Amino acid sequence: MLCMAAAMAMTPHSAYDGPEAPRLQVSLRLPDLRAQLTRLTDARATYIREEPLQRGDTIASLLQRLGVDDPDAHAFIRGSTAARHLLDLEPGQIVQAESDQDNLLVSLHATLGGDVSASHELVIERAGDLDQPFFKAHLHTVRNELRYEMRSGTITANGFFKTMDAENVPEEIVQQMVSIFSGVIDFHHDIVADDRFRIVYEAGFRDGALVRNGRAVAVELVNRSQLYQALWYSADDTKAGDYYTFDGRSMRRPFLRSPVEFSRVSSAFGWRNHPLHHQWVQHKGIDFAAPIGTKVFATSDGTVDFVGQQTGYGSVVILKHDGGYSTYYAHLSGLADILPGQHVTQGQVIGYVGQTGWATGPHLHYEFRFNDVPQNPLSVMLMEPVTLTGQTRQRFLSYTSDTQERINILRSFSVASIGN
């Protein structure tokens, strides 16, 4: 059996190794495939199998699913402190076993956590020969290849989350995006079809496969024709960084734009129940339609002023904030474990959406007051953010221009790039 194939000529250690070297096309005569196959069958073959850890798994049940039938290996894993880390895995995490044709364990690999840049890997290996098998277990750190991934798209009539799914934005990155803009955008009410987004995030890869997604490093959102940009920046290179606009203003605000968790469930609900912002004057607040049980957040740091029942409001939480501000959260179905006088932080869960008091359907009635006079919560938008100053600002601006350059490079590679 003769096979002819074209291949690139490889001439090691010659002047032709450079990328501009001419490529030669030559025909090669391949060896007899039948002879090769016979030799392959003679050789010791091993089999690789992967299984997720299941709730309630023992070492025995896990090895059995992996197709390993090896009492020596089982005894070793049970007795070795390092190897027993195997059972520290969360259900659903993958264990990979290599076994020989007699179902004896050759090696076993599992990733025991880590972050976007590195993973901690447990390796159990057979050493010695088959007559005198013994095993070794060790934990080591495997560095991931850090890549910057970009996703972009236009919000469709199907809504924010369906668009994110269609554009393959990972769930944890979607959550980060919502959180980054929570001081300036109320995702329930502000996001509309034709809004556009672009997001650059870190992702750790090994052997070409995604290990773990990391942090969103830059996000752009064009919401109702207004451009919002946010960039991750850590002034002293520790983990305690934050998001800033490209000119150095923090994305954080004293108050969140929405007191209601923006989730797949609540977004589908809110989409059809658009509140009438202009009615706030008569109404003294804004209604957020959401399913019963949706989390309600403290929109700002403060102390609990009241928690309990009031006529009309039903179950209600009232918070007091610095500068004469207070916020009301009414019609709750349940209250978080909070007491009057207790300090709460921005984003902390204080209760759950309900329909108690004078409410015609499940929703949160939210009031924002200054010196006890109800204000339009939209005016919260006017509050000035923290701005970087001095040397920190200079360092930030030079970092920003570097990052912007990198984003622009990614942008030119993006097929679904949004315009400016």
CA distance 224 to 193: 9
Which of 83, 287, 327, 344 forms a contact with Zn ion (CB under 5 A)? 287
Nearer to Zn ion, 188 or 365 (CB): 365
- Show the beta-strand stretches assigned E in 172-251: 196-206, 209-223, 226-233, 242-244
CB of 288 to Zn ion, least distance (A): 9
Q: What is the DSSP string of 92-144?
A: T-EEEEEEETT--EEEEEEEEEE-SSEEEEEEEEEES-SSS-EEEEEEEEEEP
Taking the least distance from each CB to Zn ion, the nearer of 253 and 363 is: 363
Do residues 189 and 274 lie in contact, with contact meaning Cβ atoms separated by under 8 Å?
yes
Closest CA to 47 of 106, 93, 111, 126: 106
CA-based R_g, the chain, Å = 29
**Using rule CB under 5 A, residue 212 touches Zn ion:** no
For the CB of residue 296, give the shortest distance to Zn ion in the complex, in Å.
13
* Cβ 335 to Zn ion shortest distance, Å: 18
Question: How far is 94 from 198, CA to CA, in rounded Å?
Answer: 32
CA distance 194 to 39: 61
Residue with smaller CB distance to Zn ion, 159 or 374: 374
Among residues 179 and 376, whose Cβ is nearest to Zn ion?
376
Using the contact rule CB under 5 A, the part of the chain among 72-80, 239-247, 358-366, 411-419 near Zn ion is 358-366
331 binds Zn ion (CB under 5 A): no
Task: For the CB of residue 301, give the shortest distance to Zn ion in the complex, in Å.
Answer: 24
For position 57 contacting Zn ion by CB under 5 A, the verdict is: no
C-alpha span between 373 and 368 (Å, rounded): 8
Please state, in angstroms and rounded to a whole number, the distance separating the CA atoms of residues 56 and 44: 34
Using the minimum distance from each CB to Zn ion, give the nearer residue, 295 or 365.
365
Q: Is 189 in the site for Zn ion (CB under 5 A)?
A: no
Scanning 186-194, 287-295, 310-318, 347-355 for contacts with Zn ion by CB under 5 A, the matching segment is 287-295
Chain position whose Cβ is nearest to Zn ion = 365
Query: Segment 359-418, which members bind Zn ion (CB under 5 A)?
Result: 365
Sites of contact with Zn ion (CB under 5 A): 287, 365
